[in-house]
Structure 1
Amino acid sequence: MQRKNRPAVDPAIAPQQGVTRDGQPLSYNRAPAADLAPWVARLYVTKVQAPADYTLACGLLNDTAFIRVQLAGKWRADTATGRVFSENEAMFFGPQSRRMPIAVTGSFISVGLALRPGACTALGGPRMGEFLDRVVPTGAVATPSERIVEMLDPAGSPEDWLLALEGMIREQVRQVDGRLPDPVTVMFEEITFRDPGMSVTTAAAECGVDRRKLERVISRDFGMPPKQVLRRARALDMASHLRGVADRNEGDEIALRYYDESHLIHEFTDLLGMSPRQFVKTPQPLLTLTLESRQARRLEALHRLQPGAPRPWE
């Protein structure tokens, strides 16, 4: 499936980390240090300039939990438990089952890391099902927000900030003696990247467990049943393709995961809140940033992209 139009771009913002060939915003994002790879999926820094009175309304749809430190900008999220406001604060974002409306006013800086599915279970953190579609200050689940903000020197570089976050997670890993995520969760995460059109029964067989155990483990570590996780992964890959932050050679394969166009429109609209055509025409800068980071992680996990190598959309 080829994109019929260039994805819309918000002209009011200026991403400081550059843009894709299609003009979509980029963040500075990278894989974690090798010793943290079992627990950390990705780290990022996003710095965007915008008029002080300009409010960017967008959304997020993430397949894993995040710790996000909002160093600049006034943030608002419409969560499962109501509207949440944030400014100069570290927040814990549970994974999202559907697009979560997000808005930020003024120029903004966001620093954070994505936790791999199963990491919170291994590290003795929150249960994903209890934080699905929720946003809370980090002190509600682990390290107090003010302590994390203090770790990040305002004069430091983006890489300095990410190293500080890695140090925080490294200490948590040490406290649990390096307990690893469940191997079933690790294998299922790989399936969501490689073949999210797979049936749950086939996925259970690939993971070496019966369907009931797969349902139990994935609901615990992803916060949703495996069928919903696979459905979301399909939508995320399609959204990445439509926004121009995916390997263009995968377009037909991504489209074939849907039975037909009506199936695509129904699932995409249910999860993203708009049709694929509307999605292409509507600027989605925050969502595009998270999609780009996930696609880089996905291609690296599938050994189709070396960490630090140029990405197909750059």
Structure 2
Amino acid sequence: MFQGSYPDSDIGGGAPLGGVQATFTGPTSTTVRFSVGTTRIWGIGFLPLGWARFVDAPAHVYADRLMDPRKERIFAAFRPLIEGLFGETADEAGELERIGAHFAARVPVELPDEERIVACHAALLDPDLATVADFAEAARLPAHTLERLCRRHFGFPPRLLLRRQRFMRSLAQYMLDPSLKWIGAIDGHYHDQAQFVRDFHRFMGMSPSQYVAAPHPVLSGVMRARLEAAGAAVQALHHPLLKHPADR
């Protein structure tokens, strides 16, 4: 949600979206690129359980899509927040209070899959998982149930989720400590550096060397802030039952 200049954005090099007060991004397996002038931004990130609770649609239908929430029926419940978040002057505390009040006022929905979503999410964070069979065993689900549940609530099939986790662990490790170089940050489940480079192109749309050559003034700070506040540098590595640090 933006106050000031509105960004021009695209996901994975797809159709651009611009001139909108807010954007809604589904589950992602590639980069979101945007350019923006002077603006203030509030971002709200949903973990899979949050998607199941607040978005009435299968996640895979909206995977790797960038949307205007004012035009999509399933996002209608968010429109009052989007339209009423900002006042004439910046008020960070008041805006945060309005965001919290919006979600607190939403009527709780019964989630038959809640325990299985949490089990799958917790299993996905295990760095020792290497195969879909390992994933299914850790989540205590049959393979076909795991496939259905992952697509509906996580947006992608189990194999791609495991591949993304492996990549995100590597990227986060490098961003937190570039002195390791890529060779020291690559996850142990990669067979070799060539496999990592292929995944880098798949998820980032560029080579590792191209990424290193680009500046990351915002992302580096965000990763360190996330690590301090949430215990993980990127959202994909957050615990499914994440609590505020003061509640730990």
Q: What TM-score does the superposition give when structure 2 sets the normalisation length?
A: 0.78
Match of 1:242, SS? helix
Equivalent residue, structure 2, for 1:64: none
Q: Unaligned stretches of 5+ in structure 2?
A: 233-237
Give the alignment partner of residue 31 of structure 2, picking from 80, 99, 124. 99
Equivalent residue, structure 2, for 1:52: none
Residue 307, structure 1, aligned to residue 245, structure 2: yes
Quick check: which one's strand share is greater? 1
How far apart, CA to CA, are the structure 2 residues paired with 1:124 and 1:189? 18
How far apart, CA to CA, are the structure 1 residues paired with 2:154 and 2:224? 21
Tell me if structure 2 keeps the 8 A contact 1:91–1:137.
Answer: yes
Quick check: which one's helix share is greater? 2
Give the alignment partner of residue 147 of structure 2, picking from 215, 218, 239. 215
Match of 1:126, SS? coil
Q: CA RMSD in A?
A: 3.3
CA drift at 1:183: 1.8
How far apart, CA to CA, are the structure 2 residues paired with 1:204 and 1:151? 41
Tell me if structure 2 keeps the 8 A contact 1:94–1:132.
Answer: yes
Tell me if structure 2 keeps the 8 A contact 1:92–1:136.
Answer: yes
How far apart, CA to CA, are the structure 2 residues paired with 1:218 and 1:196? 19
How far apart, CA to CA, are the structure 1 residues paired with 2:128 and 2:5? 35
Correspondences of 1:1-314 after superposition (within 5 Å): 69-79=1-11, 82-87=15-20, 89-104=21-36, 106-123=37-54, 125-139=56-70, 140=72, 141-142=74-75, 143=77, 145=79, 147-172=81-106, 174-176=107-109, 179=111, 182-195=114-127, 197-244=129-176, 254-285=186-217, 287-288=219-220, 291-292=223-224, 295=227, 296-299=229-232, 301=239, 307=245
Q: What TM-score does the superposition give when structure 1 sets the normalisation length?
A: 0.63
C-alpha offsets along residues 116-137 of structure 1, whole Å, 9 cap, x if unaligned?
A: 1032333352321111111222
Cα–Cα, structure 1 residues 163 and 181, in superposed 2: closer, same or farther, change >3 Å? farther
Question: Identity of paired residues, percent?
Answer: 20
How far apart, CA to CA, are the structure 1 residues paired with 2:167 and 2:113? 25
Q: Using the TM superposition, name which of 217-226 and 236-245 deviates more.
A: 236-245
Cα–Cα, structure 1 residues 135 and 231, in superposed 2: closer, same or farther, change >3 Å? same
Tell me if structure 1 keeps the 8 A contact 2:59–2:154.
Answer: yes
Tell me if structure 2 keeps the 8 A contact 1:94–1:133.
Answer: yes
How far apart, CA to CA, are the structure 1 residues paired with 2:3 and 2:177? 26
Cα–Cα, structure 1 residues 217 and 144, in superposed 2: closer, same or farther, change >3 Å? closer
Give every structure 1 segment of 4 or more consecutive aligned residues whose post-TM-superposition deviation is greater than 6 Å.
none
CA drift at 1:151: 2.7
C-alpha offsets along residues 74-113 of structure 1, whole Å, 9 cap, x if unaligned?
A: 31122476111034x1221111121132222x22221021
Tell me if structure 2 keeps the 8 A contact 1:99–1:271.
Answer: yes
Q: Using the TM superposition, name which of 124-133 and 208-217 deviates more.
A: 124-133
Match of 2:138, SS? helix
Count of aligned pairs between the two proteins: 233
How far apart, CA to CA, are the structure 2 residues paired with 1:292 and 1:188? 26
Tell me if structure 1 keeps the 8 A contact 2:29–2:203.
Answer: yes
CA drift at 1:210: 0.9
Query: Could you say which structure has the greater relative contact order, defined with CA pairs below 8 angstroms and 6 or more residues apart?
Result: 1
CA drift at 1:198: 2.8
How far apart, CA to CA, are the structure 2 residues paired with 1:156 and 1:181? 40
CA drift at 1:160: 2.9
Tell me if structure 2 keeps the 8 A contact 1:97–1:133.
Answer: yes
